[in-house]
Amino acid sequence: MSVSIAVIGGGIGGAAATLSLLSHGIDAHLFERGDHFSELGAGLQLSPNATRILHSFGLEEELRTCAVEPTAWHQRRWRTGETLSSVPLSTHMKMRYGYPYYHILRTDLLDALTKAIPQDRVHLGYEMTDMHQERENVEVTFSNGQTFEFDGMIGADGIRSRVRSFLFGDVTPCYSGCIAYRGLIDADRIAKLKLPTETQVWLGPGKHLVTYYVQRHKLLNFVAVIDRPEANDESWVMRGEVDSLRAEFSGWHPMVVDLVHAAQETFCGGIFDHQPMPCWTRGTVTLLGDACHSMVPFMAQGAGQAIEDAAVLGRCVQAATRGTLADCLKSYETIRRPRTQKICNIAAGLKDNLHFADGPDQMSRDQNLGSDTTSWGVGDLDWLYGYNAFSAGPPSALVTSKLTG
């Protein structure tokens, strides 16, 4: 008989993990504290390393009908609009990696994932409040007073993970020094700008603006990331002032000014991550997604990495028994922790680069961007977009040290 696993948290990571576990014959159940699945009304970039997995879940058709395939990643200078780099995406991605690069509304992705999970596996209104771990099982208690026993548990409960606190104690998220304004603009309101189907990234002193279409071009998603030394609330449901957003971009290229003036509402919150974790797993409980590797969003990989976690997790536990589950979860961590840590580190290092004041650093960055037609400033991306979660093992250095040590 297969092992039973509780997945705590019905965000993109938890939903993907549940689907992956079920597809490998694991007796998995998903517990979400909300009384419905919900995601922020905002967009998400999904690269081929993640879309490969979503297609394997049978979501190809569903994603195609709601996502947008951007033609390029286009970086531009804040005042003049000059092109700093333009990296081909849609055709290039499919040719090189076999899978598309998508822009998608978060709610559309979460809908697609959760609709694919059988309803008897989904438990809404279940906020995990307590857990007790024995050698080969875990007892999970929810705020509604119910307690269940499982062989194992996955904490996919986000950056403020309660599962993580139970395993390793409280970890305070670190403020990145940036806030983000986010929102969606009706495409009709900006039709006159004739924006191409690209990711446009406008780089300026102390801030940058990313825009792209979602929902078959019906909506334009924007994210404005702005240096702000003092910590800000991380909540994304906090309404921001549209006038403050507009003021941030006064004096920028007329297209940017028009864009932010077309926004009718915005949400604003601080950007947080947390220190690298030396360990994700204790016994038959482990972590997944932002619960163990929250990252600043400059690589657009947080959700993608949670989806990769889900695929590797399914593979690692498919043959698990009660006696081997702890080792299987440790193998999952061994494969996933180095890769996600590498991406967290690169993302953290990108912020200053994106926000240089006009001057020598900015000029040398722009020169580098101009000479780089295959990536968007971080070098070769095959290791990132070409990653196959269905066959990837631990980094070779780890394998070598295990063999020799």
Ligand X SMILES: Cc1cc2nc3c(=O)[nH]c(=O)nc-3n(C[C@H](O)[C@H](O)[C@H](O)COP(=O)(O)OP(=O)(O)OC[C@H]3O[C@@H](n4cnc5c(N)ncnc54)[C@H](O)[C@@H]3O)c2cc1C
Q: According to CB under 6 A, which residues from 206 to 245 bind ligand X?
A: 223
Beta bridge partners of 204: 207
Angle at which helices 90-97 and 48-56 cross, to 10°: 70
The only residue of 48, 152, 158, 204 in contact with ligand X, by rule CB under 6 A = 158
Q: Does 8 bind ligand X (CB under 6 A)?
A: yes
Only segment of 61-69, 90-98, 155-163, 254-262 that touches ligand X (CB under 6 A) = 155-163
Beta bridge partners of 103: 45, 68
212 given a catalytic annotation: yes
The separation between the first and the last C-alpha atoms of the chain, rounded to the nearest angstrom, is 35
Our finding on whether 69 is near ligand X (CB under 6 A) is: no
Cβ distance to ligand X smaller for residue 44 or 366: 44
Nearer to ligand X, 156 or 317 (CB): 156
DSSP 8-class letter at 342: H
Q: Is 136 in the site for ligand X (CB under 6 A)?
A: no
> Which two three-digit tokens encode residue 371?
């000479």
Does position 290 bind ligand X by CB under 6 A? yes
SS3 205: coil
**Smallest distance from ligand X to CB 249, Å:** 17
What is the rounded CA–CA span in Å between residue 57 and residue 73? 27
Rounded Cα–Cα distance for residues 38 and 228 (Å): 28
Binding-site member from 127, 136, 139, 372 for ligand X (CB under 6 A): 127
Query: Counting beta carbons within 10 angstroms of the beta carbon of residue 346, is it exposed (0 to 12), middle (13 to 18) or buried (19 or more)?
Result: middle
Residue 60 contacts by C-beta under 8 Å, 6 or more apart in sequence? 54
User: Counting contacts by CB under 6 A, is residue 10 touching ligand X?
Assistant: yes
Contact segment (CB under 6 A) with ligand X among 6-14, 66-74, 279-287, 368-376 equals: 6-14
d(CA 127, CA 141): 8
Cβ proximity of 297 and 343 under 8 Å: no
CB of 176 to ligand X, least distance (A): 9
Distance CA 308, CA 297 (A): 16
Q: CB 81 → ligand X: shortest distance, Å?
A: 23
Binding string, residues 262-281; x marks residues near ligand X by CB under 6 A: ---------x----------
User: Which residue among 101, 102, 126, 212 is the active-site one?
Assistant: 212
Tell me which of 62, 108, 151, 157 binds ligand X, using CB under 6 A. 157
Rounded distance between C-alpha atoms, residue 124 and residue 20, angstroms: 19
Nearest approach in angstroms of CB 163 to ligand X is: 7
Between 29 and 365, name the residue whose CB sits nearer to ligand X.
Answer: 29
Residues in 26-65 at the binding interface with ligand X, rule: CB under 6 A: 31-34, 44-45
Binding mask 166-185 for ligand X (x = CB under 6 A): --------------x-----
The one segment of 9-17, 72-80, 325-333, 397-405 that binds ligand X by CB under 6 A: 9-17
* Angstrom distance (rounded) from CA 345 to CA 347: 5
Among 28, 63, 303, 312, binds ligand X (CB under 6 A): 303
* Interface with ligand X, residue 102, by CB under 6 A: no
Residue 12, interface with ligand X (CB under 6 A)? Answer: yes
For residues 322 and 333, give the distance between their C-alpha atoms in angstroms, rounded to a whole number: 18
Spell out the residues 6+ positions from residue 225 whose beta carbon is closer than 8 angstroms to its own.
Answer: 178, 179, 180, 207, 208, 209, 210, 271, 297, 298, 354
Q: Does position 366 bind ligand X by CB under 6 A?
A: no
Residues 305-334 that bind ligand X (CB under 6 A): 306
Q: CB atoms < 10 A from the CB of 99, how many?
A: 22
User: Candidates 86-94, 249-257, 303-311, 328-336 — which segment interacts with ligand X by CB under 6 A?
Assistant: 303-311
- Site size for ligand X (CB under 6 A): 31
Measured CA to CA, the distance from residue 68 to residue 231 in angstroms comes to 34
Residue pair 233/239 in contact (Cβ under 8 Å)? The answer is no
Q: What does the binding site for ligand X look like in residue numbers (CB under 6 A)? A: 8-14, 31-34, 44-45, 127-128, 156-158, 162, 180, 223, 271, 289-290, 297, 300-304, 306
Catalytic residues: 212
